[in-house]
């Protein structure tokens, strides 16, 4: 089968499409014929090894696993002997990053307990745009953030992969949403349901005099004490992504700052799971949330897709079509 392969860390030019052995599912796994996959920041970090400590797990000098890709949508082609939830022919989707990653390929194997049936009204491309980003937004708002109806929620970095789900989910949970992004994306985040929008190129939301019950920090940089200053009593700042400085502040200073009063500063480490993907599936089926896709590239243009992902600020997700549905 064809797969995206990389044997050294670096820019998107390290990616090659090669013939590799088609995987065989073990007892608890299904073999998925991949229709679409999507790019996440995690794939970028795995490709570039720009977070040096991650090399301890991924391979110090070169990648131990030459395959790339987590988010996948496709059709079950074969099942292991212990699989009970799926049969050949079922359309499924999920995030295989924590399992045997390699979704930028014609086939991938995954344990059945991380997959969910694809919502019928979603294309494979739309479904592939959901798992990691959607689950991150959900766990950030609901599990780490403790979002409640009526909460004033700030989504910092609202127009990317995670942010577009965060805005929609925060609205679903009944919050009043303030979304921060750049000028060109203000209308888009408004259309996702944001009550208020802030253009970070013109206004510093931490100096606006507004206060929030929950801040989801997905991108951009503000000092952790600036975030604390704009939290209401009992408010929470959840660090999802952004610069290294932001991460280390949240990790090292967060616990101390949290001890100084009722405002809490925490770091999210999202973990994909079947239950949360099933929760998102219900919302997708009910039309309460929808994926935002910036661009779809064919598998043959995976290098261009990664360049686009790294060089621009995509609106929502960048998707790779591996096998067009009606080809």
Ligand X SMILES: NC(=O)c1ccc[n+]([C@@H]2O[C@H](COP(=O)([O-])OP(=O)(O)OC[C@H]3O[C@@H](n4cnc5c(N)ncnc54)[C@H](OP(=O)(O)O)[C@@H]3O)[C@@H](O)[C@H]2O)c1
Binding site for ligand X (CB under 6 A): 41, 133, 136, 156-163, 180-182, 185, 200, 218-220, 240-242, 268-270, 313
What minimum distance in Å lies between the beta carbon of 201 and ligand X? 8
Backbone angles phi, psi at 269, to 5 degrees: -125, 95
- The closest of 68, 80, 65, 84 to 32, measured between CA atoms, is 80
Q: With respect to ligand X, which residue has the nearer C-beta, 30 or 46?
A: 46
Distances (CA, A) of 295 to 16, 163, 168, 262, 314: 20, 17, 20, 42, 8
What minimum distance in Å lies between the beta carbon of 143 and ligand X? 11
For residue 296, give the H/E element and its range.
Answer: strand 293-298
Question: Is residue 213 within 8 Å of residue 153, measured between CB atoms?
Answer: yes
Q: With respect to ligand X, which residue has the nearer C-beta, 203 or 285?
A: 203
Question: Is residue 253 within 8 Å of residue 224, measured between CB atoms?
Answer: yes
What minimum distance in Å lies between the beta carbon of 255 and ligand X? 16
Q: With respect to ligand X, which residue has the nearer C-beta, 91 or 197?
A: 197
What minimum distance in Å lies between the beta carbon of 219 and ligand X? 3
What minimum distance in Å lies between the beta carbon of 26 and ligand X? 27
Q: With respect to ligand X, which residue has the nearer C-beta, 23 or 161?
A: 161
Q: With respect to ligand X, which residue has the nearer C-beta, 40 or 123?
A: 40
User: What's the CA gap between 208 and 199, in Å, rounded?
Assistant: 12
DSSP state of 184: G
Distances (CA, A) of 7 to 4, 16, 61, 116, 279: 10, 9, 10, 31, 36
What minimum distance in Å lies between the beta carbon of 276 and ligand X? 12
Q: With respect to ligand X, which residue has the nearer C-beta, 62 or 313?
A: 313
For residue 42, give the H/E element and its range.
Answer: helix 41-48
What minimum distance in Å lies between the beta carbon of 100 and ligand X? 19
Provide the pairing of β-strand 176-181 with 196-199.
parallel
What minimum distance in Å lies between the beta carbon of 268 and ligand X? 4
Question: Is residue 168 within 8 Å of residue 226, measured between CB atoms?
Answer: no
Q: With respect to ligand X, which residue has the nearer C-beta, 136 or 168?
A: 136
First CA to last CA across the chain, in angstroms? Answer: 17
Q: With respect to ligand X, which residue has the nearer C-beta, 2 or 313?
A: 313
DSSP string, 77-139: EEE-TT--S--TT-EEEEE-TTTT---SBSEEEEEGGGEEEPPTTS-HHHHHTSHHHHHHHHI
């Amino acid at each position: 089968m064809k797969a995206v392969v990389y044997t050294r860390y670096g820019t998107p030019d390290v990616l090659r499409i090669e013939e590799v052995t088609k995987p065989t599912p073990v007892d608890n796994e299904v073999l998925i014929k991949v229709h679409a996959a999507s790019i996440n920041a995690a794939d970028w970090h795995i490709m570039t090894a720009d977070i040096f400590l991650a090399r301890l797990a991924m391979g110090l000098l070169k990648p131990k696993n030459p395959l790339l890709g987590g988010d996948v949508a496709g059709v079950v082609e074969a099942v292991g002997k212990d699989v009970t939830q799926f049969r050949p022919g079922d359309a499924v989707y999920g995030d295989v990053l924590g399992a045997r990653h390699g979704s930028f390929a014609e086939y991938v194997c995954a344990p059945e307990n991380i997959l969910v049936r694809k919502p019928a009204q979603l294309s494979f491309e739309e479904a592939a745009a959901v798992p990691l980003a959607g689950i991150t937004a959900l766990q950030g708002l609901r599990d780490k953030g403790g979002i409640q109806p009526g909460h004033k929620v700030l989504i910092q970095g609202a127009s990317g992969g995670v942010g577009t789900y965060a805005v929609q989910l925060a609205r679903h949970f009944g919050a009043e949403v303030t979304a921060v992004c750049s000028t060109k994306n203000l209308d888009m985040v408004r259309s996702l349901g944001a009550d208020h929008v802030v253009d970070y190129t013109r206004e510093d939301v931490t100096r606006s005099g507004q206060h929030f019950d929950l801040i989801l920090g997905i991108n951009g940089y503000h000092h952790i004490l600036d975030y604390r200053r704009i939290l209401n009593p009992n408010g929470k700042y959840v660090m999802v992504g952004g610069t290294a400085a932001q991460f280390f502040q949240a990790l090292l200073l967060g616990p101390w700052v949290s001890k100084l009063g009722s405002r809490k500063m925490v770091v999210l480490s999202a973990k994909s799971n079947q239950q949360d993907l099933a929760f998102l599936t219900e919302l997708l089926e009910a039309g309460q949330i929808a994926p935002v896709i910036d661009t779809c590239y064919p598998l043959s243009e995976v290098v261009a897709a990664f360049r686009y992902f790294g060089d621009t600020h995509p609106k929502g997700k960048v998707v790779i079509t591996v096998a067009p549905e009606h080809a």
